[in-house]
Structure 1
Amino acid sequence: MKRHRVGLVALFGAIAFAALTQPAVAQTSASETSELIWGLNMNLLYVAIPITVLVEGILIYTVWRFSKNDEPLPTMENRRLEITWTVATAIILLFVGVASYQVMAEPMVTAQSTQQLDTSEEPLEVEVVAQKYAWTFNYNGTAANTSQEYSADNRLSNGGTLVLPANRTVRLSVTSTDWLHAFHVPGLALKQDAMPGQHNTIQTRVTETGTYQLYCAEYCGSGHSQMLGEVRVLPQDEYQNWVEDQQSS
């Protein structure tokens, strides 16, 4: 009867923990990148919870069962048990490895990915330039979205706020003009190093409109904590209007 109660308590705890973590996952899936990463996190969590409950249950039971044992016996060899947990561990590691590889191989997650996305439209390319202690964004080819011809004179640039369209593939080319920085938007699960003389690429598709906080995630000097920015995601029509307003002004 006591074992039955312990089992029910452990099962209820696992279900409650999974239920409490689910809302947090739903709130952070604002881009396809974050959806892939949090999907992997949940799959690993579903494996980790039963293992944690099992191990902790055995530990608690062992402490309680043998706490008053004044004459403990030496551990006896049990080959079946050893083979069982070795095989079980191998299966778990294989699952973790395959699940992680499938997500990390996605072009929306992998940094410096050269894999072409299956998309019917041309990705929006933005150069992200970091410098002490600010961000500049160059929208290459934005004139193709208007009646103007593309040239260096009408290439869109702005600082502080990166404006992106929702539900469109975006490719960010991150670089620096001085020393090491890091482009980091936790709400979109985006992070990439900014290095002088080098362009590091990340790509995503944001599915939720709104404003997301941008940080520098690499200590870059006395103004590091103030090197902040925003990523503002607009519906496609509002983004188009913003582009035309910026170019006309």
Structure 2
Amino acid sequence: MSSRRRTIVASTAAALSTLLALTGTVAAQSPNRELIDGLEYQLLYAALPLTLFVLMILIYAAVKFHDNDDPQPTTEDPALEITWTAATAIILLFVGLSGYSVLVNPYISPSQAIDTDDRSQEGFDSFEDLPDTGDEEVHVRGYQWEWQATYPDANVTTENQIVIPAGEDVTFWLTSDDVIHSLFIPDLGVKQDAFPGDYTRARTVVDEPGRYDVVCAEFCGAGHSRMQGEIVVVDSETYDQWLSENEGTVAEAPNPD
């Protein structure tokens, strides 16, 4: 291998190592984000050595055989074939188990969509008919091109702001008035579609008060890019006080600081 190729390989490896070190220092803000980040790093740590190994083989073959005027077919090697078949199976098993352990977590897959057209089985005609989850519940309705959040216990409504208490399990029950929308909170690792006539559930818990951006991740018309909002996380005392002071009104979110 020439010095130029060695330099390229070394620089690439150093850049990837630096990137991993930098991204690994970002603290997850919710179990959803922590689970997703953990899965990504597991798969990356498995894929990176394999990628470098394959690249090294390709470089070796290109350098060693580029002047071969009389190429010969590779001789049969059953042991080698069994080895790479077994290795591939192990890698796929690792990927499958890693992904499954995340997908079955109650924060990632809290429930399936509930179809209001199938009333013979579920009978959910509105938010009021949904089952009690034991979490702090927020009813979120998407429409072109805003988000509306309602707090059923206090009859408080907010527009493009969703207030939740810190350190408590929160369930978002989602639906849509018109077309498919998707509630996406990047910093919290929450993403769930909202369907017209259906009720879907997203679940999370956030330990640190603060503001987190909300966007619609499903193209929903001309105003899709403007369909933005925020999650406002406040401590439990502030949250309870805010609900009691704004009962029956359309309220502004409290300051999380």
Q: Please say if 1:182 is aligned against 2:182.
A: yes
TM-score, normalization: structure 2? Answer: 0.80
One of 98, 117, 138 as aligned partner of 2:150: 138
Higher relative helix content:
1
Alignment partners' CA distance in 2, 1:159 and 1:99 = 38
Q: Are 1:42 and 2:41 counterparts?
A: yes
Q: Which amino acid aligns with 2:142?
A: A
CA distance in 2, matches of 1:28, 1:159: 29
User: How many residue pairs were aligned?
Assistant: 228
Quick one: distance in 1 between partners of 2:6 and 2:46? 17
Find the counterpart in structure 2 of residue 220 from structure 1. 220
Offset at 1:8? 11
Q: Alignment RMSD, CA only?
A: 2.7
Contact 1:163-1:233 within 8 A present in 2 as well:
yes
SS at match of 2:198: coil
Cα distance in 1 for partners of 2:202, 2:105 equals: 11
Please tell me whether the aligned partners of residues 28 and 187 of structure 1 are also in contact (alpha carbons under 8 angstroms).
no
- Cα distance in 2 for partners of 1:132, 1:225 equals 11
CA distance in 2, matches of 1:161, 1:131: 14
Question: In the TM superposition, what whole-angstrom CA distance separates every residue of 1:35-64 from its partner, at most 9, and x where no partner exists?
Answer: 011111111111111101111111111111
Shift of 1:247: 2.5
CA shift at 1:15, angstroms?
Answer: 6.7
Q: 1:36 to 1:22 in 2, by over 3 A?
A: farther
Query: Displacement, 1:27?
Result: 2.6
Q: CA deviation at 1:73?
A: 1.4
Deviations 1:127-163 (A, max 9, x none): 110111111001122x4xxxxxxxxxxx111111111
SS at match of 1:107: coil
More displaced stretch, 60-69 vs 234-243: 234-243
Which secondary structure state, in structure 2, belongs to the residue aligned with residue 27 of structure 1? coil
CA separation of 1:17 and 1:158: change in aligned 2, threshold 3 A: same
Matching of residues 200-239 of structure 1 within 5 Å: 200-239=200-239
In the alignment, which residue of structure 2 is the partner of 1:64?
A: 63
1:152 paired residue number = none
Structure 2 unmatched ranges of 5 or more: 114-132, 250-257
C-alpha contact (below 8 Å) 1:32/1:207 kept by paired residues: no
- Are the structure 2 counterparts of residues 43 and 182 from structure 1 closer, same or farther at C-alpha, using a change threshold of 3 Å? same
Give the structure 1 partner of residue 124 of structure 2: none
Q: State yes or no: 1:129 paired with 2:141.
A: yes
Q: What does the per-residue CA deviation read over 1:81-138, in whole Å, with 9 as the maximum and x for residues that have no partner?
A: 1110000000111111111111100010015269xxxxxx941101110111111001
Check the 8 A contact 1:108/1:203 in 2, yes or no: yes
Aligned sequence identity (%) = 38
Q: Deviations over 1:152-195 (max 9, x none)?
A: xxx11111111111111000111011121111111111111111
Relative to the length of structure 1, the TM-score reads: 0.82
Distance in 2 between residues matched to 1:223 and 1:13, nearest whole Å: 41
Matches within 5 A, 1:63-212: 63-112=62-111, 122-141=134-153, 143=154, 155-212=155-212
1:41/1:198 Cα in 2 relative to 1: closer, same or farther (>3 Å)? same
